Amino acid sequence: MLQEAIQSYGYWAILVGTFFEGETVLILAGFAAHQGYLSLPWVMACAFLGSLAGDQLYFYIGRKKGRAYVDGRPRWASAVARVEALLARWDVAFILGFRFLYGLRTVTPFVLGASRVSPVRFLVLNAAGAAVWAVAVGALGYVFGQGIEAVLEEAKRYEVAVFAGVAVVGLGLWFWRARRRPPDPPPSPPSPPVS
């Protein structure tokens, strides 16, 4: 039943997951392909389409809303500064590889849309970058699938010991925090009645 659910909805989940962000989704999908639940080429194709579509949408939002949209998000300020510095220095290479830069992937298309980058240029470079990303990260999930499978098989032998160890550590941390907590302050004396 789980295998049927993965096969039925797996590709849609990849498409939607990579539209919004995606490394984790794609690595897990590569692992599912290694397990035989999904086809690796289809995993990569869905990841390519989802990533391309999401970043194109974000680019056009940045294009339409302009710099005010980007500047209206104070939490993005440091990432925006990094994007602008990288764009000024590396231009094409940065647009091709921004997906691989942690903390910049979501912000970059908005900033590029609000910048001087032309829509056609972004489309071409975004498509090339999405293809490289989908193949590289999908293959990584597939290859790590072999290692994960071996680790899980070995872990089955030790799962009770691992669970007990985690429980002991958790209880130890709980007791440690309880002892570190400052004592409750003494109750204040009652105030005299106001006449």
Residue 9 lies inside a defined structural domain of this protein? yes
- The model's pTM: 0.74
Tokens of 128: 């090339």
**Vertex 81, ends 51 and 54: CA angle to 5°?**
15
Residue 166 lies inside a defined structural domain of this protein? no
Structural domain containing residue 37: 2-150
Say which range, 29-33, 91-95, 129-133, has the weakest mean pLDDT.
29-33
For residue range 27-66, list pLDDT tens digits in order: 889 989 998 999 999 999 999 999 999 999 999 999 999 9
Residue 58 lies inside a defined structural domain of this protein? yes
Q: Residue 80 and residue 68: Cα distance in Å, rounded?
A: 13
Share the mean pLDDT of the chain. 87
Quote the pLDDT of residue 128.
98
Residue 155 lies inside a defined structural domain of this protein? no
Quote the pLDDT of residue 137.
93
Residue 168 lies inside a defined structural domain of this protein? no
User: How many structural domains compose the chain?
Assistant: 1
Residue 88 lies inside a defined structural domain of this protein? yes
